[in-house]
Each structure stands twice: as structure tokens, then as C-alpha cells.
Amino acid sequence: MKGAEAVIQSLLAEGVDTIFGYPGGAIMPVYDSLFDFTDQIHHVLVRHEQGAVHAAQGYARTSGRVGVCLATSGPGATNLITGLADAMIDSTPVVCITGQVASHLLGTDAFQETDVVGVSMPVSKWNIQVTRAKDIPAAMAKAFYIAKSGRPGPVLIDITKDAQFGDLEYTYTHCTQLRSYNPCPAPAQHAIKKAAELINNAKKPFLLVGQGIILSGAENELKELVEKSGIPFAWTLMGLSAMPTDHPLNMGMLGMHGNYAPNIKTNECDVLIAVGMRFDDRVTGDVNRYARQAKIIHIEIDQAEVNKNIAADVPVIGDAREVLEDLLPLVNENNHEEWIGEFLALRAIEEEKVSQEELFPEKEGLTMPEIIRRVSEKTKGEAILVTDVGQHQMAASRYFGFNKTRSNVTSGGLGTMGFALPASLGAKLGVPDREVVAVIGDGGFQMNMQELATIRQTHAAVKIVILNNNFLGMVRQWQQLFFDRRYSFTEMENPDFVKLGEAFHIPSARVSERGDVDAAISKMLESEGPYLLEVMVEKEDNVFPMVPTGAAVSEIRLS
């Protein structure tokens, strides 16, 4: 068969049923072959290649499968780079397939030629350029294996046009191992025993939940561990939804805009257990003043993340689920009521000084938190929440109640504005039977708003909530607090989002009065297809709590 068909057959061999892409000259042979397989593979025509890779991320994050996208050479391929970087830092399994100019033109600056392998190398887990048709099946098999094994990540395959046109004798062998690549190291039992000893002797233990719990499918093991040991836990932004929000041992979110209690108590615990998280700077604040009093247990599959930012007293390298399974029998039954009471006292302070005002404001204007809470209540915490980046993202992470795992889709490490709209499309196609609500700021929405056309064309029933404050809100907040209110180029003159939605044939509405919010949200959720709801919120509201840059986490501010 031709190399182009080998690409499609390889996708089918890997169980791929959905791909996101945009055709062009260098990838045209693959698209021509795809024409014969539309009954087996659903191709989603995005309106921009960045939309394709973010949609693939949303698909991967909700379904637990590998997301796939297609693009042409040159600008098509370079438009994927932001999404690759986002997937890399957030550990999302994505396979990106790009077309390339014919091999005899490589290095000649031919039309739409770019060294995409060189460009993508720093932001991909692995990449390869294929110049011969016969090498396509092995490259595809290797790509899928690397993308989904160990700590997941994005992979890029660049295929020259002559390789797509070339002939090969097609056979496909799934890749199950690679020399010198050990994606899932067996955890050292002596380290697990040492961790159990520290946990059993701890008076003030604290457990940090990262996305590794979700990626490894360790939600049940985590629940068993915290309930057996009585250890309070908090989650990172990417760890949201690993456990139900209302679990009695859940103390909230860590980090710069996390909750008051977990940030304060990080610097008071005696044993800190971090599972599947990388001690990102937004979690640690000043690393020189982070949990200096605690013995630190770091359970992490990626050895490169251990001792990178925070030194671990007991590093345990391995898959989170496997480690917790081995740890569980060694941990004693316990409770830490007095220690948990200290968390709850601080939670009460935050509720009084921050949450009460945000959820039940006396001011006339609407707040982001009250809208998030109403969406959460009306979906009973069963929906998948897709957020963009900014103030609304932080409000959503604190006020949405999650009841199911894989319900939080956001851009964590890279902080990519424009992520949510295409990611919500991918999320809905990944799990069609679940409600998907995209919460987006007016700034981020305009970065990829062309994907409204894709949502309409696919009839994906995504519910879009635009929280419009006519500002780049998070930047404005920092300008207010740290730059003497010098609002340098953050105020926005926005389009009419309702008319915009209607122009894409998507039912749309706007709400600005508190008394109209419940009915507007209900109408949105009851609509059968996609729906856009614009909510006018206070222009200069700030998101608190907040750990200022360079401060210790225990210096978190409530105002």
C-alpha cells in the first residue's frame, strides 16, 4: 500500500476513532487516503491548527486515550507548537502527525518547509522525521507507545510527501518496549517501608494530590489511604477531581490562588506526602521557605522531577497506583482530629473573609465565584469543567464541586489562553455522554473563538460560559496590587459575544442581573446542542487568597 494509507491503517491498529486536523499541501496524500475511512475514523475539521492540538488534549484528558491531530508543513506544523508545549508540561498523551516537503527538498527553504523536528524537540516527549514509506508503521507504533507510557506526553511524527506517496509491504507490530527506555520503574520496597514508617509516626501529616493520581488511575487507592490513615489532603490545580470535592479530608487547593488552610499548614506539617506532582513554583512559592520543618515523601513516576525543586527525604520512584497499593498494607489506621481541626479553623477564616463576600456579594455587580457555584449546583458536580487561563480559572478551581474523576480540564503548567474552547470540543467528543461546560474569560475566548465554527459543524453540545469583565483580569489584578494601578493595555473593548455566537448559528444569551442568573444557566443546560452564555461580571474584582510572587506559602493574603 501507499505510505499515506499506512498512516491511516496504523491509527486504526491503535484503536483511534477520532482525529482533529486541518488539511494542506504536504499532508494531502494522508487526507486523500482518509477519505476512504470516514466510516471508521471521525475527522474533525478545526479552524486553526492550535485548535486541533488543544482539542486532542481535551479528548485525551477526559477519555484517558491518546489524542491525535493532523497538520500540514510549515505554518500548519508551527501552529501546533503551543499545544505541544502545553501537553508536555501537563503530561497529556497526544500524537501529532505533520506533513513535510519531499525529502529531496529538505534544507532548501522550499515552500512551506520548516524544520519542525528541530522546532518541536524541546516541547515533545519524542519526535521523528520519516522519509521512507516502509518506516511509517514502526514510527507510528513507537509514537503511541511513548505518548501513553510512563509519564504521558506529546509526540510528533513528521512525514515527507514522498514517503506518503511511496509503496510498502504493510505490517503493524505494536510497540511494547524500547531499549534504554524504562517508563514505569518498579518502586523500591525499602523506600515504601521508610515512607510508611514516617507516616505512622507523624503527628501532623499532610498529603498533596497531583495529576499523577488521575493519570495512573489511583483514585481508589488514594481514597483508601487517606481514610485509613486519617491524613488530610489538598490538591494541585491539575489534581482537581481526583477525589470528590466534598470529601471530609479534602482541605482544598494548594498554591498561589489556592485555599488559605492548605498553604498555611504546608509550613506547619511534620510529614509532607506528595503524590504525582512536581512541586511547581505556583505551589511552593519561595522554595527556601517551603516546608522546611517537614520530612518530605515524594512519590513520582518521573525521576527527573524528584529533588529538582524540593529535596525529598524519601523519594519513591514509580507509578502512583502501584506505590499506593504497596503502601496501603503498611500504613496504620489512625485519625488526626486535632490536626484536621486546625485546618477547619483556617477554612472558617477564609469563608468569613473571602468566600462569603464572593458567593453572596452585597454589591450590585455579579462575581465570578457566584456564577461558578451556580453552574456547579445546577450540574450537581457531574459535569466536566473546562477552563481557560486567568481569574475565572482560579475561581472555578475553588468553587466548582467535582464528584467524578477526569472532570477538570485546564491549562496548568503553560497557562495557555485560548485553550478552553477547542479543549471543550475535544472533551465532549472524548466522553459524549457527559455534560461539558467551558468557562472562559473574555480575553482568552477571543484567542481561539474561530472554533465556534467547529463546535457548530460537529454539533458538539458544549455549554460555553464567557465571564466578561472587559479586562485581562489576572494581569489587571497584578497591576492593581503591585504596579500602582497602572493598567497598561489590559482594558478590552470587546465584540458583542451574543451576536458573535449567533453568527456561528449557536444559540446565545447575555445576563447581567443577579435575578436572571438561575434561569439563564438552566436554559443553557437544558438546550440540546451547543450554547453560549455571556455573563457580565464586576470589572475590577480580584481573586483571593493569593500568595505574592517571592513570598512563602504561609504568607498567603486574604485581601
Instruction: Point out the catalytic residue in the list 1, 40, 111, 293.
Output: 111
User: What H or E segment, with its residue span, contains residue 271?
Assistant: strand 271-275
178: β partners: 181
Catalytic site includes residue 112: yes
Catalytic site includes residue 233: no
408: β partners: 385
Catalytic site includes residue 419: no
What residues have CB less than 8 Å from 32, skipping those under 6 apart? 4
Instruction: Point out the catalytic residue in the list 140, 251, 277, 474.
Output: 474
AA identity, residue 107: G
> Rounded distance, CA 408 to CA 219, Å?
14
Instruction: Point out the catalytic residue in the list 28, 37, 112, 523.
Output: 112
Instruction: Point out the catalytic residue in the list 2, 125, 148, 161.
Output: 161
Catalytic site includes residue 161: yes
Instruction: Point out the catalytic residue in the list 5, 14, 20, 49.
Output: 49
> Rounded distance, CA 388 to CA 495, Å?
19
256-280 as b/e, with b when 16 or more CB fall inside 10 Å? Answer: bbbbbbbbbbbbebbbbbbbbbbbb
The angle that helices 136-148 and 3-13 make with each other, rounded to 10 degrees, is: 30
Catalytic site includes residue 111: yes
Using H for helix, E for strand and C for coil, what is the string for 79-143?
A: CCHHHHHHHHHCCCCEEEEEEECCHHHCCCCCCCCCCHHHHHHHHCCEEEEECCHHHHHHHHHHH
Beta strands 436-441 and 408-409 are unpaired
Nearest residue to 460 via CA among 525, 529, 532: 529
Residues with a catalytic annotation lie at 49, 111-112, 161, 474
